[in-house]
Structure 1
Amino acid sequence: MFVANISIKRPVFITVIIIVFLVVGMLCYKGLNINDMPQADFPYVTVTVEQHGVAPDQIETNVAKKVEEAIGQISGVKHIYTNISEGLCNVIVEFDLEKSPDVAAQEVRDKVSSVRKSLPNDIDEPIIAKYDFQAQPILSLAVSGTMDNRAITKIVDDVITKSMYTVSGVGSVKVYGKEEREIKIKPDLDKLAAYGLAPAEMVSAIQNGNMERPGGKVTDGQSEISLRTDNNVKSLEDFYNITVGVRSGREIKVRDVATVSDGTKDRDSISYYDGKEAIGVDIVKQSGSNTVLVSDNVKKQLELIKGVLPQGITIDVVSDNSVSIRDSVNEVVKTILEGCILAVIIVFLFLREWESTLISGISLPTSIVTTFIAMKVMNFSLNTMSLMALSLAVGLLIDDAIVVIENIVRHLHMGKPPIQAAREAASEIGLAVMATTFAVVAVFVPIAMVSGIIGKYFIEFGLTVAFSMLVSLFISLTLVPMMSSRLLKAERKTKKILCRTFFRLV
């Protein structure tokens, strides 16, 4: 074959190409993400709307039904799931699997924006996001100490959480069991009634008295400065001095109709670690990032944080998903190496030649390392499915090389010089090797095309096997003939006698 002839005539050229493949393959291997399962994006979109203090039935009527009706007009919507609780409406939209998650999220965002004016004015801005099934915590921490919970909460919010967001690959930080500060204003209904004020008027006045307002612009030549008035409340006294109304020319202050206290919000969760109350912190990675790398970077950042924390505050790692992922990957890699060694041993037992075994032994890892290039280009990761594919492919990868080597040895036994034997043997068997390889590829490629949720996970399995087989075909028609023409020699009688004696002993 043409490719085999070129590799035999230009051994330096093909050697340089193989070395480049090995170097690039190793670099791609180091750049592959390490996760437990393949990254699979599903077209699920969530819409979260908060309306504090409102009963579920009112949210259903005023928010949920309007949002559902708007979203239902989008093409490709399969199901809409809605969960309603006091002050909260959560809508999960499931699209057909063929729908792009990014396109689905944008269409939902547009529809929700179109009905925003018909929703109650006091709702928080709707939050639209792609639903990530793999958005599970990769690291869970417990923060505890001798200080009270509210003081530790401030440290978690101001130091730990902000520091975690600076780590590359961290998507979100969730905190549990903390005490948050809350300014509580308790109106005296009798006093309000005496001044002719309604509770809603007081609420509106407090909201308006605790916000920044535009103050116009100042132009000086070519420069323009925007002004804003800072009306944000900074102390309890500021709350007391907010004007809630005017009666008979007199300003009615909050102090006249209510009491203000500095307290904490009602806690919706409590965390304990080793029997002591603590604050739980979950670290969630960004979609598609390297679980092991992110976890390592977070732990490095934690070491820096511990150096600036007040005395008595401790941070303990409760769970670390990267440990199980790293162990799982290492176990599969170990299995692949064991399979490679056993495959080479079996080849030696059957071919009974050190040179032929060496060539087969070199072609096997070369094929695997080169496959990493295709995996990197396809944005695959080292996970259970892709490593399983490589483990399965170990036995298949060496087949092409064995067939080519055995035919070259046959031609050598016919008395031909090594270069001629390698060239004629490769040309003679080339089409058969190609047919065998493409038959195997034809079996595994359809696995990568399985529809549905299962198909999302089997893409990397099927394509990794297919890539490795195509690489094996290239190696068997280039590297194997080239090395055989240089390493294999015509059979010598003394060598044959030594081999027979050796194998009789084993």
Structure 2
Amino acid sequence: MIEKLISFSLRNRVMVLLIAASLFGWGVYSVQTNKVDAIPDLSENQVIVFTEWMGRSPQLVEDQITYPLVTNLQGLPEVKYVRGTSMFGMSFIYIIFEDETDVYWARTRVLERLNSVGNMLPEDATPTLGPDGTGVGHILWYTLDAPGMDLGEQRAVQDWYVKFALQNVEGVSEVASFGGFQKQYQLTLDPNKLTYYNLSVPQVIQAVRANNNEAGGRKFELSDIGYIIKTTGYLESAEEIENIPITTSNTIPVRVRDVASVQMTGESRLGIFDLNGEGEAVGGIVVMRYGENAEEVIANVKVKMKEVAKGLPEGMKFNIVYDRSGLINESIDSIKGTLIEEMIVASLVVLLFLFHWRSALVIMIQLPLSVAIGFILLNAFGISSNIMSLTGIALSIGVIVDDAIVMVENAYRHLADATKGKPWED
């Protein structure tokens, strides 16, 4: 079979060259379109369901949320198994699908099932789907460098401006905020005063909720002009919360300030984010969407950052603390350097031992052609250019070089013996 293939190739040199040129062109196109990343995605095909029920113990979360969700999500098609984790105030469900399952089809089926099991959960517990990213989707970390600015203000800029802008970048699944303080109004109730006025905690909560609302009225026309009536009732300051009436005692209203103190503060935190031991920082983590090109997404995020920076408060700027594109570029440069070095070394070896430039040219053509065909197969199987795949190509180059030297030297010796010193190369 091999002899027939070699004979056919020798008799049809033009066809072989055209096929090789076509494969090389296809390979160059595959190199340009192949998804580039530094870390291979070996994570399972999973969908995460997150439920927050703050203030509850892990055992209560397990009984009321995790167990009902796990038992109802097990019957989905193409599901391998379902894992559940309960912790203080939070529940995580991991639905593992078969490897061939489309991740967005899986998310749709999970969402359909969640719509039917929502009535089994507590009223204030709403399960939500996690981002459509993978375990290696954290492609860029950044902080906001704003000397002298309050951490709460920095977090507000991150949550209400930077986060929304970066989430619009194509290929970004989520921008997770970290650090700083999330501002909130906090009521500290005095139990003695509640007892004195014969009030309960739910009454205070209901009063605050009822007074933090807007109501709409009807539309009426006056002089051929239509007017829409509405009431503005959103709370805008701590003083407004203090003046909210809860009940009436002897025709005198009992207000929030009579039973509690109101202040602007930060939400309770379980930890802090410290940058290089220099103090707390505020920033975000850019999570890439499943199946995207990491190098392209990082480049688009950096371009968007330049636009967002124009609207930041004076003195605030981005500080990138983790950028995977550096590792990606190093991996690509490594494979390029290996290919060039081995082409040069192999050609020099052939020239030194055979003194035949055409044999060296065969090796120099064979190496980039083999690598180009390798990228065609990477695209065909949906494999990205990462450390593992590029390392495999680098190792295979050595095998190709050894094979090329042996085969070229063997062909050269047989042709020389067959022609007995005649100029066979012409």
Q: TM-score range by the shorter chain?
A: 0.7 to 0.9
* TM-score scaled by length of structure 2: 0.78
Could you list the per-position Cα deviations for residues 149-206 of structure 1 after superposition, in whole angstroms to 9, with x for gaps in the alignment? Answer: 2222233333432332233333322332211111123345566556654321332343
1:178 aligns with 2:180: yes
Matched letter for residue 173 of structure 1: V
- State the alpha-carbon separation in 2 of the partners of residues 25 and 77 from structure 1: 37
* TM-score scaled by length of structure 1: 0.67
Deviates more, 1:76-85 or 1:402-411: 402-411
Equivalent of 2:422 in 472, 478, 491: 491
Let me know the Cα RMSD of the aligned residues: 4.2
1:171 to 1:105, Cα distance in 2 relative to 1, 3 A: closer
- State the alpha-carbon separation in 2 of the partners of residues 184 and 287 from structure 1: 39
1:286 to 1:108, Cα distance in 2 relative to 1, 3 A: closer
1:204 aligns with 2:206: yes
1:362 aligns with 2:365: yes
Q: Which secondary structure state, in structure 1, belongs to the residue aligned with residue 281 of structure 2?
A: strand
Matched letter for residue 382 of structure 2: N
1:315 to 1:407, Cα distance in 2 relative to 1, 3 A: closer
Aligned to 2:93: 91
Aligned to 2:35: 33
Matched letter for residue 328 of structure 1: S
Mapping of 1:459-474 within 5 angstroms? none
Aligned to 2:49: 47
Matched letter for residue 392 of structure 2: A
1:151 aligns with 2:82: no
Could you list the per-position Cα deviations for residues 409-450 of structure 1 after superposition, in whole angstroms to 9, with x for gaps in the alignment? Answer: 85687569xxxxxxxxxxxxxxxxxxxxxxxxxxxxxxxxxx
Mapping of 1:308-319 within 5 angstroms? 308-319=311-322
1:293 aligns with 2:224: no
Aligned to 2:267: 265
Could you list the per-position Cα deviations for residues 87-141 of structure 1 after superposition, in whole angstroms to 9, with x for gaps in the alignment? Answer: 2222334456576655554444444433211211012344355672213353343
1:328 aligns with 2:321: no
- State the alpha-carbon separation in 2 of the partners of residues 212 and 60 from structure 1: 37
Aligned to 1:371: 374
Aligned to 2:388: 385
1:353 aligns with 2:284: no
Between Structure 1 and Structure 2, how many residues are aligned? 413
Identity, % of aligned positions = 23
- State the alpha-carbon separation in 2 of the partners of residues 305 and 104 from structure 1: 34
- State the alpha-carbon separation in 1 of the partners of residues 26 and 349 from structure 2: 30
Q: Is the 8 A contact 2:155 2:182 kept in 1?
A: yes
Q: Which secondary structure state, in structure 1, belongs to the residue aligned with residue 326 of structure 2?
A: helix
Equivalent of 1:338 in 337, 341, 358: 341
1:63, distance to aligned residue in structure 2 (A): 1.8
Gaps of 5+ in 2: 221-227
1:332 to 1:98, Cα distance in 2 relative to 1, 3 A: same
Q: Is the 8 A contact 2:190 2:260 kept in 1?
A: yes
- State the alpha-carbon separation in 2 of the partners of residues 229 and 380 from structure 1: 58
Q: Which secondary structure state, in structure 1, belongs to the residue aligned with residue 384 of structure 2?
A: coil
Could you list the per-position Cα deviations for residues 234-278 of structure 1 after superposition, in whole angstroms to 9, with x for gaps in the alignment? Answer: 344553565645789987654565443322222333233352432
Mapping of 1:51-450 within 5 angstroms? 51-74=53-76, 76-78=79-81, 80-85=83-88, 87-94=89-96, 101-102=103-104, 104-128=106-130, 132-141=134-143, 143-189=145-191, 197-211=199-213, 231-240=233-242, 242=244, 244=246, 254=256, 257-274=259-276, 275-349=278-352, 351-397=354-400, 399=403, 403=407, 410=414, 414=418
Q: Is the 8 A contact 2:132 2:289 kept in 1?
A: no
Q: Which secondary structure state, in structure 1, belongs to the residue aligned with residue 162 of structure 2?
A: helix
1:50, distance to aligned residue in structure 2 (A): 1.0
1:4 to 1:156, Cα distance in 2 relative to 1, 3 A: farther
Q: Which secondary structure state, in structure 2, belongs to the residue aligned with residue 272 of structure 1?
A: coil
- State the alpha-carbon separation in 2 of the partners of residues 235 and 381 from structure 1: 52
1:327, distance to aligned residue in structure 2 (A): 1.8
Deviates more, 1:300-309 or 1:48-57: 300-309
Matched letter for residue 295 of structure 2: V
- State the alpha-carbon separation in 2 of the partners of residues 212 and 71 from structure 1: 38
- State the alpha-carbon separation in 1 of the partners of residues 400 and 350 from structure 2: 13
Q: Is the 8 A contact 2:180 2:280 kept in 1?
A: no
- State the alpha-carbon separation in 1 of the partners of residues 155 and 358 from structure 2: 68
